[in-house]
Amino acid sequence: MGVLARLKQRIRQKGFKRVCRTLFERHVFFHWELLWTERDLTTPSPPHRLRAHPPVTRTLITADNVQAFATYFGDRVQTMAELARDGHLGLMYLDARGDAVAFVWASTGDYHDRHYYGCTFAVGPGEYFQFGGEMTRRYFGSELSVTAQEDMWRLMHAKGYRSLVDVVETHNVAAMKMHVRMGYREQGRVTHIYGLFGRWKFSRQTRYQGARLDALRTPGVARPRP
């Protein structure tokens, strides 16, 4: 399929304005906001109504087994190997064919993201930085999103960590809803990522008052305690 044909297909699928915005952000300028959240590692997850999913096998990610990502995350194989070699702790979940269908990562020190955001995320004593959680479309809306996080919480708690911090993109509504559902608490700070001409990235941090995720909270669900 040629470039023009692919462009026409994307316009039909996503709409002209959305495609233009994507192209502008990719090649000219973008501004992302990353909200910082935190969570302790021992409070149980709130009840949920997520659907069950086909059986999966949990495996630690190493530089030697990253080919499991080739089927569904083929563009991430090298990145996964680099993260493992850098000493970060990763969990992946394999389907019956041995293909990775979900993963999550943890950094036990300040995490410099050279693969995507291009900035450093600092952590404090007793906490770790959780990042990179993702799954294939077949598992969207399933309880695997809860299982993967709880597995990481137990693993890191056993290593002596008390809490986690992470960031969530404000343009990723599904991820923000997941953070609300899982009982994460906002820290009141934002990391801003700016991209220019598809080549340079810059970052800065600001703070805010209030709770920006409250609009996504289901009525009747209490906010996490400070």
Residue 144 has pLDDT above 90, yes or no: yes
Alpha helices in 90-158 (DSSP H): 144-158
Please check whether residue 226 lies inside any domain of the structure. no
Residue 212 has pLDDT above 70, yes or no: yes
Please check whether residue 69 lies inside any domain of the structure. yes
**pLDDT tens by residue, 153-182:** 999 999 999 999 999 999 999 999 999 999
Instruction: Give the torsion sign (CA, 44, 181, 149, 31).
Output: negative
Percent of the chain whose pLDDT exceeds 90? 76
What domain range includes position 97? Answer: 30-216
Nearest by Cα to 191 from 135, 104, 126, 112: 112
Range of weakest confidence among 68-72, 97-101, 206-210, 218-222: 218-222
CATH for 44? 3.40.630.30
Task: Report the C-alpha gap between 190 and 22 in whole angstroms.
Answer: 22
Predicted TM-score (pTM) of the model is 0.86
Range of weakest confidence among 47-51, 104-108, 166-170: 47-51
Residue 198 has pLDDT above 90, yes or no: no
Please check whether residue 109 lies inside any domain of the structure. yes
